[in-house]
Amino acid sequence: EAAVTQSPRSKVAVTGGKVTLSCHQTNNHDYMYWYRQDTGHGLRLIHYSYVADSTEKGDIPDGYKASRPSQENFSLILELASLSQTAVYFCASSDSGQIYAEQFFGPGTRLTVL
Amino acid sequence: GQQVQQSPASLVLQEGENAELQCNFSSTATRLQWFYQHPGGRLVSLFYNPSGTKHTGRLTSTTVTNERRSSLHISSSQTTDSGTYFCAIDYNQGKLIFGQGTKLSIKP
């Protein structure tokens, strides 16, 4: 089974500050994804990447940047954190973006912006 | 737009009863996954099932592609089954769209 780890597991940030969330996968997957989950809701896709040094916008990219410096690592960057970005953030990876590719999720990062 | 509708939104059962969760989607799905989210937040993939029926333990997932629906059946429910169950669909766009989830509570 794919191993996806995230750091930090929780973080408290101040409004206007910069936040970087990190994700690392060890199964040589091509695709990586960042989602956010608000309390009582499903996950929504922020950014994804299918190759190193390239990222794509998901459904809710505003206020977020992403960086894929290597196949194993994918970061989510909040340049100016806002209260509305308080949420749980999940990273995922899959072997391919094509059909029949299951996504494997990390444990999540709980971000609180004050 | 492309939607994923899950029902019911919440379900309360007595231990030992069977649970039936539904997922309906709006167009052809190339990928469908069922997830379980622990009360503490950890997300676990239960089934990758874009078509047909799959079993694991007390869980069964059935997807009828041409009817645009999938179900998750939990037999002889246990208190440890409590949590939120998500259905997620890929409409051939290389990304998953999640439903709102079904919150399941199993009472002892």
pLDDT digits (tens, 9 = 90+) for B41-89: 888 889 988 889 999 999 999 999 899 999 999 999 999 999 999 999 9
For residue B68 the two structure tokens come to 């645009």
pLDDT tens, N- to C-terminus, chain A (114 residues): 559 999 999 999 999 999 999 999 998 898 999 999 998 888 999 999 999 999 999 999 999 999 999 999 999 999 999 999 999 999 999 887 554 567 889 999 999 999
- Maximum separation of any 2 CA atoms in chain B, in Å: 42
Q: Which of A65, A62, A74 is nearest to A26 (CA)?
A: A74
Work out the average pLDDT over B97-101. 93
- Comparing B27 with A18, the larger pLDDT belongs to A18
Which residues of B, range 63-92, sit inside 8 Å of A by Cβ?
86, 88, 90, 92
Q: Which of A67, A66, A74, A84 is nearest to A13 (CA)?
A: A84
B56-74 burial code (b ≥16 CB/10 A, e <16): eeebbbbbeeeebbbbbeb
Residue A102, pLDDT score:
79
Judging contacts by C-beta atoms under 8 Å, the chain B residues touching residue A6 are: none
- Comparing B3 with B73, the larger pLDDT belongs to B73
DSSP structural state of residue B30:
S
Residue A98, pLDDT score:
55
Residue B1, pLDDT score:
61
Q: Report d(CA B7, CA B99) in Å as an integer.
A: 9
pLDDT band at B94 (very low <50, low <70, confident <90, very high): confident
* Minimal Cβ distance to B43: which of A98, A108, A110: A108
Identify any residues that bridge with A104 across adjacent strands, giving them in sequence order. A93
Provide the terminal-to-terminal Cα distance of chain A, rounded to the nearest Å: 36
Q: Which of A21, A78, A74 is nearest to A49 (CA)?
A: A74
Q: Which of A66, A63, A70 is nearest to A24 (CA)?
A: A70
pLDDT band at B90 (very low <50, low <70, confident <90, very high): confident
Work out the average pLDDT over B19-46. 90
Angle subtended at Cα B90 by Cα A29 and Cα B93, rounded to the nearest 5 degrees: 80
Provide the sign of the torsion angle of the four alpha carbons B64, B37, B4, B33, taken in this order: negative
CB contact under 8 A, B43 and A105: yes
Please say if the pLDDT value at position B10 is more than 70. Answer: yes
Residue B96, pLDDT score:
86
For residue A88 the two structure tokens come to 């749980």
**CA B61 to centroid of chain Cα atoms:** 8
Q: Report d(CA A112, CA A39) in Å as an integer.
A: 12
Work out the average pLDDT over B25-43. 88
Q: Which of A22, A35, A32 is nearest to A2 (CA)?
A: A32
Q: Report d(CA B93, CA B103) in Å as an integer.
A: 28
* Minimal Cβ distance to B41: which of A88, A100, A102: A88
pLDDT band at B26 (very low <50, low <70, confident <90, very high): confident
Work out the average pLDDT over B88-92. 86
Does B1 touch chain A if contact means CB atoms closer than 8 Å?
no
Which residues of A, range 42-81, sit inside 8 Å of B by Cβ?
42-45, 48, 50, 58-59
